[in-house]
Chains A and B, each alone.
Chain A
Amino acid sequence: MILSRRQALVTAAGTLLAGCDRVTGSEIGRRILFSAEDGHRALQRAITDRTALAPEYLPQQRSPIFRSNGTRDPNTPDYNAHVANRFADWRVRIDGLVARPLSLSIADLRAMPARTQITRHDCVEGWSAIGKWTGPRLKPLLALAGLSDSARYLVFHCADRYGARPYYESIDLIDAFHPQTILAWALNDRVLDVAHGAPVRLRVERQLGYKHAKYVDRIEAVASLDGLHGGKGGFWEDVANYDWYAGI
């Protein structure tokens, strides 16, 4: 057998990498591999105080340009009408497992006590941008709506669509009650623009960018994520195997 060492190495590497692809093609392989998400969540939650804050930065430490990603413009007839109307008729409903469902206008949200925070946005792709976000904290809004004891997750329904699928995301109550979890209506002291999620987006600062739902029009309190769209708690989780817990 005449096989150069180099050929042997390339063949071995190719076999190994192809083997990896076979693991993710099998049900048991996926289950083992995907179990790391729960491991990381459990470990991080065990060593992190529930109210431990994500780092905050100084105004001069902000990114000169805060790039946008994901949907940059929902561009549906309905959304475009809201843009034309400067979101005067936009409502954020808070419903599901609550005692008093709310329907808040953007003026309502702006009139509420706001938290301003200069934080770093980390995209799952690897880039980071630092910006200043302003908006009311989620926790008092949930108190206002009378969150039920049976609620375990909050689902953020969005106005943008990927084909026929609406974007959505979800967080648990630890993140929902976190002091830096806000419904942001301003970025860098300016009213939120369309590319960054106008008129209102979620900031959940201890997780990656895809959890920060943009164009939010409904916040639904639920006991379980089963039965909602693909059942995995978010658009990217449903269609592309993204982790629901995006703290890493």
Chain B
Amino acid sequence: MAPPPTIYRHRIATRVWHWLSAVSVIVLLGSGLMILNAHPHLYWGRYGANFDPAWFRVGWVFEGGRVPGWLTIPQSYDLAIARRWHLFFAMVLGFALLGFMVASLANRHFQRDLRVRARELRAGVLLHDLREHLALRFHDPADPRAYNIFQKLSYVAVIFVALPLIILTGIAMSPGMNAAWPWLLDVMGGRQSARSIHFLVAGALAMFTIVHLALVILAGPWNEVRSMLTGRWRVPE
């Protein structure tokens, strides 16, 4: 019996971007939590320090008021080294996304694979897809290459909302960039609001990463990981 067929599913631009982003997101989450430890309170508005009302305190979640070392980079308190990690991989994440966006517009990956069509958002279609997910069937047998609607919506949310927002709120926290692009600070509602949004989007990206990894495991981890390494993906039977 011949082995099941494989198809070429992920182009080189997608694969390179995926792994650069995967490493960056992990490092940025860990180093970001260490940076948060330096001042573990969050505020809304332009200013915010110890005497101002905070809407979030790390102490509400973790005893001792600090994120524990097993979640942070580096593992013991070091703001300067955490910033070195964060600001290095912030550039990797940002420029990788920019390159991926340009490439995916040019090779029509976005238009072909990520465009959400109105009929896909009808309740019946969404319910059907939900039932398929619960049955661990993630691919339409008639068109196995296509992303399902939940996949499309989550990828679109990450690529076009979450990642740009976390990059722009990061830039809005830079006093140098505030002089270059003062409008960005106004859009975000001030530096401490930008810092809060940055933290909330980081939480959303952490959740996405967990769900993404869980679904990779459920969909067949070797086939999925190989397709992101070599591009070739075996059509599920």
Contact = CB atoms under 8 A, between A and B. Distances in A.
A in complex with B: yes
Interface of A: 10, 13-14, 16-18, 20-21, 24, 32-37, 39-40, 44, 47-49, 52-55, 57, 61-65, 67, 120, 122-130, 205-208, 236, 240-243, 246-248
Contact of B73 (A20, A35, A64): A20
Contacts of B38: 124-126
A178 to B, nearest CB: 9
A49 B182 CA distance: 12
Given A129-B47, A248-B174, A14 B70 contact: yes
A211 to B, nearest CB: 10
B88 A44 contact: no
Contact of A122 (B75, B85, B175): B175
A126 B194 CA distance: 11
A122 B72 CA distance: 23
A10 B70 CA distance: 9
Contacts of B52: 63-65
B175 A18 contact: no
Interface in B35-60: 35-36, 38-39, 41, 46-52
6 contacts: A20-B27, A52-B180, A55-B179, A127-B49, A248-B174, A248-B175
Interface stretch (B12-20, B76-84, B139-147): B76-84
Contacts of A39: 91
A52 B83 CA distance: 25
Q: What 10 A-B pairs are tightest by C-beta distance, nearest first?
A: A247-B176, A126-B39, A36-B88, A127-B49, A48-B180, A248-B174, A125-B38, A241-B80, A125-B39, A65-B51
Contacts of B46: 57, 61, 120, 128, 130
A179 B218 CA distance: 59
Interface of B: 26-27, 30, 35-36, 38-39, 41, 46-52, 70, 72-75, 78-81, 83-85, 87-88, 91, 173-180, 182, 185, 191-192, 195
Contact of B51 (A52, A64, A243, A247): A64
Contact of A125 (B47, B79, B87, B88): B79
Counting chain A CB atoms within 10 Å of each CB, the highest count among B30, B49, B81, B177 belongs to B49
A36 B84 contact: yes
Nearest to A32: B88
Nearest to B174: A248
B49 A63 contact: yes
Contacts of B87: 36-37, 40, 243, 248
Nearest to A241: B80
